Every structure is written in C-alpha cells, then in structure tokens.
Amino acid sequence: MNAPARERKKHYRACHLCEAICGVVIETHGTEILSIKGDKDDPLSRGHLCPKAIALKDLHKDPDRLRQPLKRVTNSTGENSWETIGWEEALTSAAQGLVEVHERHGVHAIGVYMGNPTVHNYGMLTHQGNLFRHFRTNNRFSATSVDQLPHHLASLWLFGHKSLFPIPDIDHSDYMLMLGANPIASNGSIWTVPDVKKRLKAVRARGGKIVVLDPRYTETAKVASEHHFIKPGTDALFLLAILNTIFSEGLDDTAHLRPFTDGLDVVRAAIANFTAEFAAQHTSIEAGTIRRIAREFATAGAAICYGRMGVSTQAYGALNQWLIQLINIATGNLDLPGGSLFTLPALDQVSTIGPGGFARHHSRVRNLPEFDRELPAAVMAEEITTPGENQIRALFTGAGNPVISTPNGRQLDDALSQLDFMVSLDPYLNETTRHADIILPPTSALEHDHYDLAFHTNAVRNTARFNEPVFDKPEGALHDWEIFTELGNRVAQRLGREAKPSIAPADIIDLGLQSGPYADQGISVQMLKDHPSGIDFGPLQPQLPARLRTKDKWIHCDTPEPLADLARLNEEFCAEKASSPDPAQAGPLQLIGRRHVRSNNSWMHNYHRLVKGPNRCTLLMNPQDIQQRNILEGSEVEVRSRVGALQVVVEASAEIMPGVVSLPHGFGHHREGIRMDIAQRHAGVSCNDITDEYALDELSGNAAVNGISVEVVPA
C-alpha cells in the first residue's frame, strides 16, 4: 500500500557519484527511499540523470557498508579476523598506532593515500588537516597522480594555479577537437557537464563540428562528426603538428590575449620540426587530415581543444595538456565564449587555497618529483618495502583503494602486508582496507550535508547548490569530518599539542560564500537552503587577465619544462621505425583502459543495478589481432606485461583499432578477505595487475597506464 501523501518527504540534492553533480529529487517515507528522479529545476543538470544516481539508494542500503569501526585481530596461527569495536577504542587505538610510529621513526615514516571519493565529499576536504597538521610527511599520495596531475601542472605553469582549469564552453561552441576523452561515459572529467550527450548533439544541430581522436570508437565518437583512430602515446605528435600548421600557415590569432601573453614565438621555433608529415608516420592519421583539422579549428567561429584521461595517463601526459592549452591560446579561443573559459564559482577555491608547486622534494628511492606536496602513487610500494631512513612504516588511507587503482597493484598489495600499522577511513572492507589494523567507517552520503567545492569550479555554468541530509545521522555514527577532528585531537593529546576547535563544514562553506564573488547578492548557506535546486549565476564569461594567478598576471607560453621534454619525444619517435608493421605479423599490443557510464573507478561494483547485464570486464580486441593469434572469440586469453599476467575473456570488436586492446578500470574483486558480496560475484580482473609502476610520464611523474606493451595469447 502506498504511504499517505502527508508522510512522504521530498529531498533535493546533487548526486555525488561523478563530476556531473546532477540534481536529484529523492522521495522518502521514514527511512525508505521511494524514488530518485532528476531535478528539472537544477540550472546545471536540467533534470538529466544517469543510472548511477538511481543507485544512491543501493549505496545507502548496502548491507556490506560498514556501520561501526573494525579492528583486525590476528590469532596464534597468523589468521586474521575482524572484531567490531566502539568509537572510543577505535580512535584511541588509531591515534596510538600512528603516534608510536612517528615517535620511533620520524614523521616521514607515516604515509598518506587519499582516494578519488575524497573530492566528492566536502567533509574530507575541509577537515583532513585536523589530522595531517600533526604529520607533515613527505610521503603523501593520492589518486591525482594516476589521473589528472598533467592538467594541474599545465594550469600551474600557464595560469598560476593548480585548479585554474579552462572549461570548454560547449553550449556556445562551433568546433570541438577532443582527444582521449569519452564524456558520454564519464559525464565529463575535469569538466562538470551534465547531460553532455544532449549538449554535444546541440553543437552539431546548430551547424558545428565535433572531431574525436581515440584508439577506440567510443560512445562519444558515435555522436561526433568524425572519428580518427590514433596510436596510443602519439597524441603529442598530433597536437604538435596541429600547432605547427597553425603557425606555419599564419592561422594564429591572439589579438585579445596579446596584452598579457608572451612566449609563443619561442614555442613556434621549438616545434618547427614537428610537422604533419612527421606525425603521420607514427599516429596513423594522414598528414592531409591533420592539416585540414588544424585549418578548420583555427578558422571556426569559436573552438575548443579538450583532452582527458587518454592523453593524461600516458608517457607524455603533461606535454599533451600543455599543448592543448597552447592550441587554444594560439587560435584566440582561450577566454572566448564558445572556446575555453574560467568559472567564477560562488566559493572560489582558486582564491582560498594555495596555487600548488612542483619538484620541491623528491621520492626517496626513485627521486621522482612531488606535486602539491604529493609524490607519484607509482612509488608507494617501493617506499614501503625499501629499508632506510624515512621508509614508510605506517599508512593512513582515506576513501581510496590503491591496490585496484594504481600501477602494479599486486606489488602494492604485498607491500601493505609489511606495514607496522595501518588505518583506513572507509565504509568498506575492500582490497586495500583488508590490510588495515583499524577501519573507521563514516556515515552514508545521504546522512550528511554537502557542497561541491571542486566541481562547481569545473562547471559549464556558474551555479551553486547546498545539499541537506536526506536522513538523520544514526546514533553512534560519525561523519568523516568528525572522524578527522576526533582522531586529530587524540593525536594532539599524545603529542602534547593543543587540540583544534571544531567547526562544521557547513559553517566553513558559509564563510566562504559570504566572502566570495557573489557576496553582494547575499549568498549564504541559508540562501542555498531556501533554493534547494540551486542558484544560477549565469554562463561563463571572459575574465582575463584578472583571473590569472601568475605573479605578473601574464600567460608565459614558453614554459621551460615541457619545452625541454620535446627532446625526449623527438628522440623516441626519431628512433622508432616509421614504417607500418606487417599486418600479417602478430607483434606487441598496447593496452588502454575504458569507462562505462554505470561505473566510477573501483567503488561502483557492489550494487546490482550497476553491474547487471552482460559482463563488462572483457578484453576488447580487433578481429584482425584475434585471427593473427589463433584466438577464439569469447575464449579466455592470457594478457602478459613486464610485471605479470592475468586471464580474461576476449571480446572481438572492430571499434578498437588494430594493435590495441582495452580493459576497463576498477575491477579485480577476487582477493580474499573482502566484504563486498556483489562485487565478488562480478569480480573481473584488475588491469592494474599488469600496468607497470615504471611506466610514467617522466616530466610529471603521473602514471602511464595507457599504452602499456602487452602480449595476448590463448589461455
């Protein structure tokens, strides 16, 4: 029987499961969720919803989600079991374990890894400093260095701040050139663009053009004007050829940027040898096609060059992202409506947090550079297992599963078992947290309020929205910010330091809003509560040079680091045999990842509605490559790399270019000791069991998980 209307409640909030932050209306009766629908009044998402948002109910109700702290207990025979404990014991034990390692071995003996969901949950962003201010370790890591680090570096170099991202103004654009990006599957990435499929179709409907370059004919490529296969790892050659053509044919136009932009003449000279003909030898794209795209882009009314994971997580990730921005700058499409614009969010992180830095210290074993005080995640295992001063002996993980998410996950899995102590703030007993001594589970996302600090900064429109909790916090539970506060206070007590006063995240947001760019409009948390679908502050607008955070408010295009990296690129591809391989010969293959709209990294596989249907964890392989290797379609194959091998079902697909194979990211839930029932029944394999911790973008230290050389044979 339906509940009486008077007992039903409607709650307005944004889905926190990806960067699109789509507005949702959740109808409840008591503690039951009756429906989840798109919020048509949300000015950003306009009622759009993807399957992940419907699964918010599954996440909240998941019986595998931890509600109380766990303590790992090891018996006399070395077998582990888990004991449910109270918060007082959990927090005290966690603080004691961390402080003991700190006192015995120093602050750098403590490692920290923060996962991708951190940025989807504002309490973790606002309050992690309550703990980490006591442990200012050089051994900090995050998902950034297996993801978007090259974006941050390009923004730091060119615009003066790690989070000052130029956002594609898709709703007003005439031409989009997109590399290594599949926003229809990701709902945008470093680009908060809900309902992106409709927006892409609108570009073409008004006479615009979309050109996609990708080793796979992706969901986004299928709605584009044209798609070109490109060999993994050669995007920099294509981008250089585009820029070279623009310069050599006099197609550059920086009139409105010239008063505060310099260095393009240095770039012009440095890239003179990177021609369309040179790129054609290696990319699989003809020189004439490259020049045509360059001309179309430069002469379009307003154009956008955008690249994402495929061009970031490869050997030339930072060079690629720098070149993408130079193409936008050289053609005058930066700070232009319909080109790339900067947001002006109601709470402006660009004004409230530091700009970031690069190479101020280096990793102990491999001497790799930090970015924003974090080392590349690819060195985490060796920093745990290599003896010596500042060896990591204790680890804190927050909302992260690096065993699944970082290169050579098997190596890290083994390394975690060698730690003296480990604490995880996480709602699941997963492949990583199974190594923890203490697991501290926060409340469900629907049990606390939220404001999207990061994603309003990346949005296609200036909007603001505050999410009130759908359900009350259960008795005896703690929010993540309360866990950081309480744990930090216990650490302070043990170190003889002063505890930090606690202020709720909503109060921090309120202060930020009332001192932000829309303060004169009376913006506050209360105003946002009074407008639960959000407030629209309008389309993105030109803001340069005022928005720049470089010291002199100039864009200096002649960035020394990527200019120097051109030599590495030139050396590699001049040495490579330019002629195409014999198609009759079965040579090495290159592994790339892939994204699905019902998945997000490793944390979307324990919910039936998101994993139902055909097996998605298959190896996509071109029929030509399958035939050459005498492989039966639908059979199991062994995929081998330098670091190991795995077995997976092969799926023939002409949508993947010859010489390339594709595995999705985030699977591999077969390890013993985890409590994720549905994920275990759809375990799949982890592509990061064969990615290589030594495969990096040498310039940035970002993991190069795309373009890994592999061999595929019948299992």
DSSP assignment of 125-177 equals HHHTHHHHTT---S-EEEGGGGTTHHHHHHHHHHHSSTT-PPEE-GGG-SEEE
pLDDT in tens, 287-299: 999 999 999 999 9
Residue carrying the six token digits 């105003």:
527
Task: Please tell me the distance from the alpha carbon of residue 137 to that of residue 395, in angstroms, as a whole number.
Answer: 11
Task: Identify the CA nearest to 397 among candidates 429, 432, 373, 370.
Answer: 432
What domains are defined for the chain? 5-61 (2.20.25.90), 70-136+373-511 (3.40.50.740), 169-335+546-562 (3.40.228.10), 581-714 (2.40.40.20)
576 confidence band (pLDDT: 50, 70, 90): low
pLDDT band at residue 385 under the 50/70/90 scheme: very high
Torsion of CA 148, 153, 156, 162, to 10 degrees: 30
Inform me whether the pLDDT recorded for 151 exceeds 50: yes
Per-residue pLDDT reduced to its tens digit, 5-23:
558 999 999 999 999 999 9
Mean pLDDT of 491-506: 94
Provide the strand spans (E) within 308-419.
340-341, 358-362, 369-371, 394-398
> What backbone phi and psi angles, to 5 degrees, belong to 4?
-60, 145
Tell me what percent of the residues of the chain surpass a pLDDT of 70.
Answer: 98
Q: List, in sequence order, every residue forming a beta bridge with 439; answer none if it has no partner.
A: 70, 424
* Per-residue pLDDT at 1: 47
For residue 559, is pLDDT > 60?
A: yes
Confidence class for position 261, pLDDT limits 50, 70, 90: very high
Q: How far apart are CA 554 and CA 159, in angstroms?
A: 8
pLDDT in tens, 478-496: 999 999 999 999 999 999 9
Alpha helices in 551-684 (DSSP H): 560-575, 608-611, 623-628, 677-681
Contact present, 562 and 263 (Cβ < 8 Å): no
> Is the link from the previous residue into 441 a cis peptide, with omega within 30 of 0?
no
Q: Is the pLDDT of residue 282 over 50?
A: yes
Residue that has been written with the tokens 């303590």 in this structure: 71
| pLDDT (tens digit per residue) in 67-105 | 999 999 988 888 889 999 999 999 999 999 999 999 999
> Which pLDDT value is given to residue 585?
64
pLDDT at 258 over 80: yes
Could you read off the pLDDT of 296-337 as tens digits, one per residue? 999 999 999 999 999 999 999 999 999 999 999 999 999 999
- Chain-wide mean pLDDT for the chain? 96
Helix (H, G, I), strand (E, B) or coil at 677: helix
Grade residue 521 by pLDDT with cuts at 50, 70 and 90: very high
What is the average per-residue pLDDT within 640-660?
A: 98
Q: What is the pLDDT of residue 602?
A: 79
Q: Could you give the percent of the chain with pLDDT greater than 90?
A: 94
The number of beta carbons lying within 10 Å of the beta carbon of residue 2 is 8
pLDDT digits (tens, 9 = 90+) for 34-70: 999 999 999 999 999 999 999 999 999 999 999 999 9
Residues 6+ apart with CB under 8 A from 429: 64, 66, 70, 82, 439, 673, 674, 675, 676
pLDDT tens profile 418-453: 999 999 999 999 999 999 999 999 999 999 999 999
Of 28, 211, 36, 118, the residue nearest 481 (C-alpha): 118
Average pLDDT over residues 199-216: 98
The residue count of the chain comes to 715
pLDDT tens digits for range 678-688: 999 999 999 99
Contacts of 250 (CB under 8 A, 6+ apart): none
Structure tokens at 530: 């009074």
For 166-223, the DSSP string reads: PEE-GGG-SEEEEES--HHHHS-SSSB-TTHHHHHHHHHHTT-EEEEE-SB--TTGGG
Task: Place 236 in a pLDDT band, splitting at 50, 70 and 90.
Answer: very high
Answer yes or no: is pLDDT of 549 > 80: yes
Q: Which of 614, 660, 612, 691 is nearest to 404 (CA)?
A: 691
What is the pTM for the complete model shown? 0.96
Contacts of 55 (CB under 8 A, 6+ apart): 17, 604, 607, 609, 610
How much is the pLDDT for 7? 81
Question: Is a pLDDT exceeding 80 seen at residue 245?
Answer: yes
> In this predicted structure, what is the pLDDT of residue 584?
56
